[in-house]
Structure 1
Amino acid sequence: MPPKGGNPAHMVSMAKQLRGRVHAINVTDGSRAVLRMSSLAASTVLLQHGLEPICQMACRDRNVIGLQADLMGAQALGIRNILALTGDPVKAGDHPSARSVFELESVRLLKLIAKLNQGLDFNDKPLTDGATELFVGAAIDPQSQSWSGLQRRFERKLAAGAQFFQSQLISDFDRLEKFMNQIAAGCQRPILAGIFLLKSAKNANFINRNVPGVFIPQSIIDRLEQAADPLDEGITIAAEQVRMAKQLCQGVHIMAVRREDLIPEILNRAGISAIGE
């Protein structure tokens, strides 16, 4: 999570604790439409500290000129990993009266990036100062209520050039297995399952009430409620889920909001060695 302000020190200190344990670090772009430092600037700061960022880029706040400008800027700054997102609605955030843009959505953004990588702009005019070389991913939600809609959306993002996929929070691993076997099978693209660190029963109930399409099972809520140390139990649950994901897909996308420092312990309990070991 980028800082709310101009000082990136806390973000950098959290990110440094992940060195050698993760392949890359997601940098959110106004997640939940809440004001934060730009993902492009925050990603650049991480890169300056030798950390590999995945720069999330949402369509909510930029038209096609702004999106292309930032994508070319990412190329110039040495940022190669982009996660193409539509973006959360403005009304969900802390500036509900702000104007949304949404000139593009995630599939059209993927197509735009493919053009830039081919040396062409949105209007098919040549990029006279060099094509981009961006490695672009997309989001998926295997727990979507519409199975046909999920398949259609996945296939469109694949055709548009997505090179990897990060999922939303996964709580139903049977559903993830079905997605991997029936929709993602043979796609030759890595799927990263979303693992969320639940800090308490209150946290889990909040997610159930406020995050569309996510349902934390009562059995997990009960474990958190009955635990002497709910946060420690949440780490154990996340580690169990990492182990389950390892049997089904190519990687995990761990979300430990404001406690990214606990990600190494989650990986330790899941039996995931440091990179290179």
Structure 2
Amino acid sequence: MIAQQPQTYSRFRSAAKAGEFLITAEVMPPKGSDPTHMIKMAEGLKNRVHAVNVTDGSRAVVRMSSLAASTILLQRGIEPICQVACRDRNGIGLQADLMGAHALGIQNILALTGDPVKAGDHPHCKSVFELESVRLLKLIDKLNRGIDANDKPLPDRATNLFVGAAVDPQLKSWSGLQRRFEKKLEAGAQFFQSQLICDFDKLDKFMSQVAVGCNKPVLAGIFLLKSAKNAQFINRCVPGVDIPEYIIERLAKAKDPLREGVAIAAEQVKMARSLCDGVHMMAVRREDLIPEILDLADVAPVNSAPALSV
């Protein structure tokens, strides 16, 4: 007898639908076969975040697949948001992974175009980019309606994926930002997670002029800066990011730059809380500090939820 698809409770989807202030955090899959560190970091986030993002070849650096890593977390009662990028798979591969994710009990997907191969550690590899994020959102909408990319029925049941998209409120082209955001809304995005935010005036403008009335939660990206050198590296290597000089100077003058970075992140969470619908925490390999940042920002633990099954 064929097993029925797992019935799972999604704390993230339920909280989004209820209009709660959403908290997510990002972990990276291992660069190898041992997920111990990833699991440890993710387990420290239980009851502090609604869901944990699992990156998919971020910065074009090879790591364990986001689908496999998300499944590992799900098996440990940690709700994942599985990031899916278009760089490495064609339409057949993307559909296969999305159907597989649903069958494994993974409900949340973040649809991304993906970083260019030249930015990573395998610059000789070929990119695919048959789709980009908007077309991927449209594809997921089709799968949720029970049809494939060719508009043919799925005989073995539709998916039921809760799909989100990335947004960058600090984009220089305001018209481009608005146009891209509207396209993602039309394509079926149910939530948005932003890139690293430093300019909260631009976030305020985005929320009041672009995202206003969309009725979809927007989560501000909050990044833990560990030192002035770390901030300068991000400015140099991450496209579209411009960490202001006063923050870099603050880190440089601090006796303990990491502690100063924690304080800065907490201040930013407080600012975001008054402007948007949630925060997306990024603290590369120091995810253990995220609960402390949330405590400093007076963000209470999230409501407990029934265990996820897979």
Tell me the TM-score range normalised by the shorter chain.
over 0.9
Q: What does 1:235-254 correspond to in 2, within 5 Å?
A: 235-254=262-281
Name 2:254's counterpart in structure 1: 227
Name 1:25's counterpart in structure 2: 52
Confirm or deny that 1:145 pairs with 2:172: yes
Gaps of 5+ in 2: 1-27, 305-310
Deviations 1:19-48 (A, max 9, x none): 000000000000000000000000000000
Name 1:38's counterpart in structure 2: 65
Q: 2:231 aligns with which of 204, 207, 210?
A: 204
Deviations 1:132-181 (A, max 9, x none): 00000000000001000000000000000000000000000000000000
Name 2:43's counterpart in structure 1: 16
Name 2:130's counterpart in structure 1: 103
Which SS does the other structure have where 1:168 is aligned? Answer: strand
Deviation at 1:224, TM superposition (A): 0.5
* TM-score for both structures, normalised by structure 1: 0.99
In structure 1, C-alpha distance between the alignment counterparts of 2:233 and 2:66, rounded to whole Å: 26
In structure 1, C-alpha distance between the alignment counterparts of 2:56 and 2:144, rounded to whole Å: 22
In structure 1, C-alpha distance between the alignment counterparts of 2:162 and 2:137, rounded to whole Å: 10
Name 2:101's counterpart in structure 1: 74
Confirm or deny that 1:129 pairs with 2:159: no
In structure 1, C-alpha distance between the alignment counterparts of 2:303 and 2:185, rounded to whole Å: 30
Q: Partner amino acid for 1:265?
A: E
Structure 1: which 4+ aligned runs deviate by more than 4 Å?
A: none
Which SS does the other structure have where 2:172 is aligned? Answer: coil
* TM-score for both structures, normalised by structure 2: 0.89
Name 1:94's counterpart in structure 2: 121
Q: Partner amino acid for 1:169?
A: L
| Percent of matched pairs sharing the same residue | 75
Deviations 1:233-256 (A, max 9, x none): 000000000000000000000100
Confirm or deny that 1:114 pairs with 2:141: yes
Name 1:167's counterpart in structure 2: 194
Q: 2:76 aligns with which of 30, 49, 66?
A: 49
Deviation at 1:7, TM superposition (A): 1.2
Name 2:289's counterpart in structure 1: 262
Deviation at 1:276, TM superposition (A): 2.7
Which SS does the other structure have where 1:276 is aligned? Answer: coil
Deviation at 1:212, TM superposition (A): 1.8
Confirm or deny that 1:5 pairs with 2:41: no
In structure 2, C-alpha distance between the alignment counterparts of 1:66 and 1:260, rounded to whole Å: 31
Q: Partner amino acid for 1:23?
A: H
Deviation at 1:275, TM superposition (A): 1.3
**Between Structure 1 and Structure 2, how many residues are aligned?**
277
Q: Partner amino acid for 2:224?
A: L
Confirm or deny that 1:178 pairs with 2:201: no
In structure 1, C-alpha distance between the alignment counterparts of 2:193 and 2:272, rounded to whole Å: 12
Q: Partner amino acid for 2:164?
A: G
Q: Partner amino acid for 1:3?
A: P
In structure 2, C-alpha distance between the alignment counterparts of 1:267 and 1:75, rounded to whole Å: 31
Deviation at 1:260, TM superposition (A): 0.5
Q: Indicate the larger mover: 99-108 or 1-10.
A: 1-10
Q: Partner amino acid for 1:144?
A: L
In structure 2, C-alpha distance between the alignment counterparts of 1:15 and 1:210, rounded to whole Å: 26
In structure 2, C-alpha distance between the alignment counterparts of 1:205 and 1:232, rounded to whole Å: 17
In structure 2, C-alpha distance between the alignment counterparts of 1:4 and 1:217, rounded to whole Å: 31
> Which protein, 1 or 2, shows the higher relative CO under an 8 Å CA cutoff with sep ≥ 6?
2
In structure 1, C-alpha distance between the alignment counterparts of 2:251 and 2:140, rounded to whole Å: 42
Name 2:244's counterpart in structure 1: 217
Q: Partner amino acid for 1:17?
A: G
In structure 2, C-alpha distance between the alignment counterparts of 1:8 and 1:101, rounded to whole Å: 27
In structure 2, C-alpha distance between the alignment counterparts of 1:218 and 1:152, rounded to whole Å: 30
Which SS does the other structure have where 2:111 is aligned? Answer: strand
Deviations 1:158-211 (A, max 9, x none): 000000000000000000000000000000000000000000000111111122
Q: Partner amino acid for 1:273?
A: A
Q: Partner amino acid for 1:217?
A: P
Confirm or deny that 1:62 pairs with 2:89: yes
